[in-house]
Amino acid sequence: MIEIDPTRRDLVAAFWENPKGPHSPELQQLVNKLRFEPSMRDKYVVVCTKPYEEWTLAQLPGQRGKPIRMHTDQVFSNLNDAERAIFKLRWEAHTGQTLD
């Protein structure tokens, strides 16, 4: 798996512009890396809380049968904005650098 280069803000900008893709091969590798977690515990996900209207960030418990942890302070009326928020959280977790 690739290592994330935190200086590649061009890839961040490309994701911001089109979160759902299609992505260039380099950006797709980055997205795949950010999505991969060795454990599902605390992995951030987007949950559709009102079909076609509302998406909420949540975290997986990492154990089957346990409830997911909803972040009700992170609610979006646009799926792309929710995807950007997840990307930002994962980027910061992997690189230690914040995105504006």
98 and 92 Cβ atoms separated by less than 8 Å: yes
- Cβ neighbours, 10 Å, residue 29: 15
Domain assignment present for residue 43? The answer is yes
- Distance, in Å, from the CA atom of 29 to the CA atom of 25, rounded to the nearest integer, reads 6
- pLDDT, tens digit, 9 for 90 and up, residues 55-88: 999 999 988 899 999 999 999 999 999 999 999 9
- Distance, in Å, from the CA atom of 57 to the CA atom of 48, rounded to the nearest integer, reads 9
Domain assignment present for residue 85? The answer is yes
Domain assignment present for residue 50? The answer is yes
Domain of 76 in residue numbering reads as 9-95
Q: How far is CA 91 from the centre of its chain?
A: 8
Could you give the number of structural domains in the chain?
1
- pLDDT, tens digit, 9 for 90 and up, residues 30-62: 999 998 877 778 899 999 999 999 999 999 998
